[in-house]
Amino acid sequence: MKIHAIVHKAEEGGLWAEVPSIPGCATQGETMEELRFNLREAIEGCLSVPGETPHPHFRSDPRQ
């Protein structure tokens, strides 16, 4: 599954990223490596929240 993230340079240093297809899913890191690790954890956490309705544009099966 591919999920797109937008990476930004943080004003105070480091980087932060957001996942437009998953509302509220964002994280930060001092390096790109740390950001990628944190982003995977953030996505897993956002997708595992019980009772939340997935964003209408997000589909886990690309054939849908």
Return the higher-pLDDT residue of 62 and 33.
33
Q: What would the pLDDT profile of 2-41 be if each residue is shown by its tens digit?
A: 999 999 999 999 999 999 999 999 999 999 999 999 999 9
Report whether pLDDT(62) > 50.
no
What CA–CA distance (Å, rounded) separates 14 from 59? 30
Q: What would the pLDDT profile of 26-36 be if each residue is shown by its tens digit?
A: 999 999 999 99
Q: Quick one: which of 34, 35, 33 has its CA closest to 7?
A: 35
Where helices occur in the chain by DSSP H, the ranges are 32-47
In one letter, which amino acid is 39? L
Q: What would the pLDDT profile of 37-61 be if each residue is shown by its tens digit?
A: 999 999 999 998 676 555 555 544 4
